[in-house]
Structure 1
């Protein structure tokens, strides 16, 4: 069997770079048949040093026709770069695969799409709505148009056909050390840590019981590779198109607990004067904005059943709570405090 021709965007980024690592660790013989879209030519040397046989394709999302022509030469596309919100790139990928006569499109969205769905105040404790991708698959594929990422999700969902398989991978907070060639860290927890270090004391929003889901980057990458293998080797386990929506989570966390753990570790390292945690009321929630929109979420959570049931995927890496010491140390170094 000839190696598959795969087109990948966003491999200089955190998730895309780690998936590329996992994919080539699993199938090193595929390196010469993978094309990576590179939007910043300055990254060429780093890619070549790490993956000398990888084919690099230089273009930007302001050139959708160019991307479309290149996509048409490949049987499978993995989209990571600005994937959740960039309409021209998703459209170019769909058009390119249609021009080819079909193929497989694995798209990356995000669970922020579940926020603000009919809730006036996410931060008012109330009944929790659990989205799941098994019995609740139709709910996920028919979310209101006002939902963030929904405009691009609709493009991907509408493209699915007998000849064009689509899958949407929808991860929650991603954490852990990445293994890609360029960017190896995520923003959310590092931004929260920096905010606490800059403030000089711990921060907590309200009662600290707002929550969200999370998944380790290595576990997430293993799921992508399982989907890719299903597509390339003609497996029958994965579901596609209208049933190809995969939430990804390895558990959940409470924001207050994470904030206290960051504060305690920063104090232990001598980065804060005390373990004091300042409680912010909800009217001042904008202070916590660097941590992301879910910081005030009391209403919704995700349950990833599809990957577990169909692909046998189970998260096996460290929990977010166990990663806090390394996150604090790394952010302190970046901030010039150690």
Structure 2
């Protein structure tokens, strides 16, 4: 590894995934060689990151750009300018998601289609209107057509587990995933855990610690020998280690809430037509949660030696504790 400082610009540093990655960067054996700058929207959190963790910060927000595509386009313009000014080719690690591969079965039956991150023609055959796809196409084009950046796209499946560490303890980063809180909040309002159609939809899943490890392995590989790391049109890295259906996940949430006396039954109560969107943010997201997204992450295992430790059973086993924490937080918010 070069003795020169490595400049790292990180967005989402106070979020679930970004915060977990930042914690790994700060604990990295070569952390003293990193110059980390984080984009944050909270002046208070920016002060903590700078004073307690030595992280430079830029105040801003994803809300400063109405669409993610605009934010990514701005970052890519910056990378292009850096390439022109310095002659160095920067690397861009972008977070997408396996929601790009959803079908519209709505959980009626198990989809047989499983996508691999080694099957590039199938990925490229996806319609440009698929979720995440417009941004991913911008990222790939910056490498394949513009040539002013080496781009790598990490595509997590459902991420689970409660994040821990000094940034969480300091109140800087979010310790919770997105999907479990959506179901918990919806069930608390409804008085029961709902299911759309048959709930047979299957998604891959990955523990937050294993996902953070993938990012660090990718960074290490780039710093060690960038020529050995796939990028551009081949630079997709799926993150998954097993899969579950909503028919397996939701009963665990229902059991936990019933044990706490927060729902009237531990059985799943089907949503009436048009009802799911009232409790799961909106109808579009509700439909999204009950689709199939089946993937097989092979590239990170092959190129980076990524070996996730947590299994789908760990997802189920950890739900009770996570639900209890989430209910406590919802109660605390209601009492203020």
Range into which the TM-score falls when normalised by the shorter chain: 0.7 to 0.9
Question: Counterpart of 1:75?
Answer: none
Where structure 2 has 5 or more consecutive residues not aligned to the other structure, the ranges are 84-88
TM-score by length of 2: 0.84
The answer on 1:114 being equivalent to 2:101 is: yes
Which of the residues 117, 120, 144 maps onto 1:133? 117
1:172 paired with 2:157, answer yes
Q: Which residue of 1 aligns with 2:47?
A: 45
Please say if residues 237 and 311 of structure 1, whose CA atoms lie closer than 8 Å, have aligned partners that are also in contact.
no
Q: Report how far residue 256 of structure 1 moved.
A: 1.6
Q: CA RMSD in A?
A: 2.6
Q: What is the aligned counterpart of 1:213 among 204, 212, 230?
A: 204
Once the two structures are TM-superposed, the CA of residue 122 in structure 1 deviates from its matched residue by: 4.1
Q: Distance in 1 between matches of 2:63 and 2:260?
A: 45
Could you say if the C-alpha distance between residues 329 and 165 of structure 1 is closer, same or farther in structure 2, counting changes exceeding 3 Å?
Answer: same
Given that 1:32 and 1:54 are in contact with CA atoms closer than 8 Å, whether structure 2 keeps it comes out as no
Q: Which has the higher helix share?
A: 2
Secondary structure, in 3 states, of the residue corresponding to 2:262? Answer: coil
| Unaligned ranges ≥5, structure 1 | 65-81
CA distance in structure 1 between the aligned counterparts of 2:179 and 2:100, rounded to whole angstroms: 16
Report the 3-state secondary structure (helix = DSSP H, G, I; strand = E; otherwise coil) of the residue aligned with 1:260.
helix
C-alpha deviation, 1:27, in angstroms: 3.6
Residue in 2 aligned with 1:306? Answer: 299
Q: Contact conserved, 2:5 with 2:35, CA < 8 A, in 1?
A: yes
Deviation at 1:168, TM superposition (A): 0.6
Q: Which residue of 1 aligns with 2:11?
A: 9
Structure 2 counterparts to residues 4-153 of structure 1, below 5 A: 4-27=6-29, 29-30=31-32, 33-51=35-53, 53-60=54-61, 86-101=68-83, 102-116=89-103, 119=104, 121-125=105-109, 127-134=111-118, 136-153=119-136
- TM-score normalised to the size of structure 1? 0.83
Q: 1:260 to 1:293 in 2, by over 3 A?
A: same
CA offsets 1:179-229 (integer angstroms, 9 cap, x no match): 443222122111102222222223223333222111111111100001111
Structure 1 residue matching 2:135: 3-state secondary structure: helix
CA contact (8 A) 2:6 2:34 kept: no
Moved more, 54-63 or 147-156: 54-63
